[in-house]
Amino acid sequence: MKTGWSSLLVVVGLLILLTYLLIQSRSPDPVRRARLHAALHEFKLHDAELNRDVLLTRTGLLPHYDSLHQSLATMFRALEVLEAWQTEAPGVIRAAMAEPVADLRAVVLNKETLLEYFKSDNALLQNSLMYFAHTSYALSTQPDARHGRLTTLAGALSNAMLRFVRTPQRQVREEIEVLLNGLPTGSPRQQDLQLLDVHGRLILEVLPKVDNLLRQLLLAPTTAEARQLQDAALQHLGSLEARAQFFRVMLYTVAILLLVYLVYLLIRLRANTHALEQTNADLHREMAERTQLEHKTRQQELQLIQANKMTALGTVVAGVAHEINNPNQLVLMNARVLDDAWTDAARVLDFYYEENGDFVMGGLPYGEMRQTIPDLIHDTHDGARRIDRIVNHLKDFARPRGQVGQETFDLNDAVGRAVGLLQHVIQKRTTRFRVELGEDLPRLQGDLQHVEQVVVNLVVNALEALPVPECGVAVTTRYCEAEHSLQLDVKDDGIGVPPEHLDRLCDPFFTTKQEQGGTGLGLAITYTLVRDHGGHLTFESIPGQGTCARVMLPCAS
Ligand SMILES: Nc1ncnc2c1ncn2[C@@H]1O[C@H](COP(=O)(O)OP(=O)(O)O)[C@@H](O)[C@H]1O
Ligand SMILES: [Mg+2]
C-alpha cells in the first residue's frame, strides 16, 4: 500500500515536471519575430529612400517634398511597430530592448528636425539660385553694345556661381564676392543688378548651411541604430531559443525517465500479480485441506458422542434388563402352567355346565368365558416372550466392553453362517439375493458369533426395507489395503432412509417399525459389536432407491 502511494507520487511528480518543461521549451513566438523583421526592414528601406530624396531635393531634381514626408511617416509607423513589439515582449527582452528602441526614436526625431531646417533653407536656396540664374542669363544675353562690360560681368558671375554650387570652395566664394562688389551702380539695369546682388549673396550664405544640413541628414545614425536594435533583438531571441532548446532536451530526458519508470512499475506489477496468484492458490489448497480435516474431526467427534451415549445407556439398560428378566421368567413359566391347568379345569367345568346349565365366571357367562380364557393365557404368554426377546437384546447391548473373544476367523465364514440362518426369511422377502465374497481375505480377530450377529442384523433390516420381492439385496466382502481392514457391504434396493434419520439409526429404541414388532435395538447392538472389534459402521442412503450399510473391521495383527 505504502509502495503504491510512493509510486503514484513519483509518477505525478514527473508529470508536473514534464508540464513545466513543456511550457519552458516553447520557442519565441515566430509571428512576433516576423513582425520585428518586417518593421526593421521597412524602417531601413525608407530611411535609404529619404536620404536619396534629400540628395535629389538638394540638386533641385525633386520639385516638392511629398516623398520626403511619406518616407518619414513610414519610418515613424515602423518605429511604432517596434515600440509595440518591445512593450509586448517577455520580461527579459522588454527590459533589454527598452534602450535601443528609445535611442532609435531619438535619432529619428533628430532627423525630422534636421529635415525641417533643410527643407526651409533649401527652398530659399533653390529660389535664389533660380532668380540668380534667370537674372544673370537676362543680363548676359542683352543685345545693347553699351552694356558690354555688364554682359561680361554677368557671364563671369554666372560661371563662378555655377562652380560654387558644384563645389563651394573659399576661393570661389571670394571670387564671387569680388565680382558682386564690383557691380556697377547707376546703370539702366539697376533693378536686375540689385536682384543679382541680393540673391548672389543669399546663395553664398545659405548654400553652405544647406550642404551642412544635408551632410548631417545623411550622417544621421538612424540605420546604425536600427541595425543595433536588430542585433540586440536577435541576440536576445537567440538566447531565448537556446534556453528553450535546453528545456526541450530536459523534456525528452524526463519523458524517457517516466517511460522507464512506468515499464519498471509494469514489470513489478506483473511479478506481484504472479505472487498473489500463487498465494491465492496456496490459500485455496490450505482451505480445502482444512475443511477435509475439520470433516474428519467432526466424524470422530460424532463417533465419540455415540460411543459415550452407548456406554452410559449400556450401564442403565443392564440394570433394567436384570430387574425385568426375573419376574418375566416367572410370568412365562406361570403362563405355561396356567395353560396346562386350564386344559384340565375346562374338562371339569364343561361337565358341570352340561349338567347344571350356564353359570357366571369372572363376571361373564361360562359359555363366553370358555372361548376367552385360552386367548388370555396365550396373549400373556406371547407378551412375556416379547419382553424376554427385548431383555435378551438389551443384555447383548449392555454387555461390558473388552469381553470380545480372541479367536481369529474368516469374515466370509460369518457371512455364510448368517445367510444360512436367514435362508427362510430371504426366500420369503426377495427373489434377488446376491453374495459376493472376496478371495483370500486376511483373518479377523474377535468373536465369530458376534460378527455373524452383525451380518444377521444388517441383512434382516435390508430385507425388511424391500417393498416388493423383485427388489434385491447384495452382501459383499473385500480387503481394503489402505486401512488394512475388511469391508462388509449390505446393499439393498429398499425404501431408503430419510436424511434426518441417518444420524439416529444406531440410537437404542429408534425404530420406524413399531407396528411390525420392531424394537429399535438391532442397529444399536450392531454398532456396539462392531465397535468392540475396533471397527466402525456407516450408512449411505437415497430415499426411494436404497441403502448401503458398510462395516469396516481391522484385520488381525
Ligand atoms: N436397510 C434399511 N433400510 C431402511 N431403513 C432401515 C434399514 N436399516 C435400518 N433402518 C431403519 O433403522 C431403524 C432401526 O433399525 P433397528 O435398530 O434394526 O431396529 P428395528 O429393525 O427393530 O426397527 C429401523 O426401524 C428402520 O427405520
Ligand atoms: Mg432391525
> Do the beta carbons of residue 81 and residue 37 sit within 8 Å?
no
Ligand 1 atom with minimal separation from the 510 CA: 14
Testing ligand 1's pocket by substitution, the residue of 430, 493, 511 carrying the most ligand atoms inside 8 A of its CB is 511
Candidate from 460, 490, 523, 541 with most ligand 1 atoms within 8 A of CB, to mutate: 523
The Å distance, Cα 471 to ligand 1 centre, comes to: 17
Amino acid at 257: L
**Which 8-state DSSP code applies to residue 281?**
H
**156-to-136, 203, 275, 476 alpha-carbon distances in Å:** 9, 16, 119, 166
| Cβ neighbourhood burial of 266 (10 Å; 0-12, 13-18, 19+) | exposed
Predicted local distance difference test score (pLDDT) of residue 2: 63
- Cα separation, 243 vs 265, in Å, equals 33
Question: 554 - beta bridge partners?
Answer: 485
> In 3D, which of 97, 32, 28, 90 has the Cα closest to residue 240?
28
In contact, 444 and 555? CB cutoff 8 Å? yes
Mean pLDDT for each consecutive 10-residue tract of the chain (557 residues)? Answer: 79 92 84 90 93 89 88 94 90 87 94 93 90 84 65 85 87 90 80 88 92 92 90 86 91 93 93 94 95 85 74 77 88 93 93 91 89 92 85 72 76 95 94 97 93 95 97 97 95 96 91 86 90 93 97 93
Residue 64 DSSP class: S
Would you say the CB of residue 550 lies under 6 angstroms from ligand 1? no
Which candidate, 84, 86, 105, places its Cα nearest to that of 97? 86
What digits encode the pLDDT tens for the residues 128-186? 988 988 888 888 776 654 557 778 888 888 888 889 988 888 899 999 999 888 888 77
**Considering every ligand atom, which ligand is closest to the CA of 513?**
1
- The closest residue, in CA terms, to atom 12 on ligand 1 is 505
* 513 close to ligand 1 (CB < 6 Angstrom): yes
SS3 (DSSP) at 3: helix
Q: What pLDDT sits at residue 319?
A: 82
- The Cα 438–Cα 446 span in angstroms is 19
pLDDT at 142: 66
In the chain, count H helices and then E strands: 13, 9
Q: What is the pLDDT of residues 139-148, one digit of tens each?
A: 877 665 455 7
- Hey, is 329 helix, strand or coil? helix
Query: pLDDT per residue over 340-370, tens digit each?
Result: 999 999 999 999 999 999 999 888 899 899 9
For the beta carbon of residue 68, count every other beta carbon within 10 angstroms.
19
Name the grid cell of 553.
473391521
Secondary structure (3-state) at 540: strand
SS3 per residue for 433-490: EEEECCCCCCCEEECHHHHHHHHHHHHHHHHHCCCCCCCEEEEEEEEECCCCEEEEEE
Long-range contact pairs involving 81-86 (C-beta distance under 8 Å, separation at least 24): 81/35, 81/38, 81/39, 81/42, 82/36, 82/39, 82/40, 82/43, 82/229, 85/32, 85/35, 85/36, 85/39
Q: Relative to the alpha carbon of 520, which ligand is closest?
A: 1
The Cα-based distances of 160 to 28, 126, 178 in angstroms read 62, 17, 11
Q: What's residue 139's pLDDT? A: 80
- Report the distance separating Cα 458 and Cα 464, nearest Å: 10
**Any atom of ligand 1 within 6 Å of the Cβ of 492:** yes
Closest atom of ligand 1 to 511 CA is: 25
How does strand 407-409 pair with strand 444-446?
A: antiparallel
Alpha carbon nearest to ligand 1 atom 5, residue: 497
What pLDDT sits at residue 145? 47
Q: Which residues fall inside 5 Å of ion ligand 2, going by CB? A: 461, 522
Mutation probe of ligand 1 site: the residue of 396, 505, 509 with most atoms within 8 A of C-beta: 505
Rounded to whole angstroms, how far apart are CA atoms 369 and 342?
12
pTM: 0.46
504 alpha carbon to ligand 2 midpoint, in Å? 13
Q: Which residues contact 430 (CB under 8 A, 6 or more apart)?
A: 463, 466, 469, 470, 471, 472, 473
> How is residue 71 written as a grid cell?
518616407
The whole-number pLDDT of residue 495 equals: 97
- Grid coordinates in use for 158? 554666372
Tell me 551's DSSP state. E
In whole angstroms, what is the distance from residue 263 CA to residue 256 CA?
A: 11
Residue whose entry in the numeric block shows the C-alpha cell 500463487:
278
* Cα atoms in the Cβ-side hemisphere of radius 13 Å centred on 511: 16
d(CA 441, ligand 1 centre) in Å: 29
Chain centre to alpha carbon of residue 536: 54
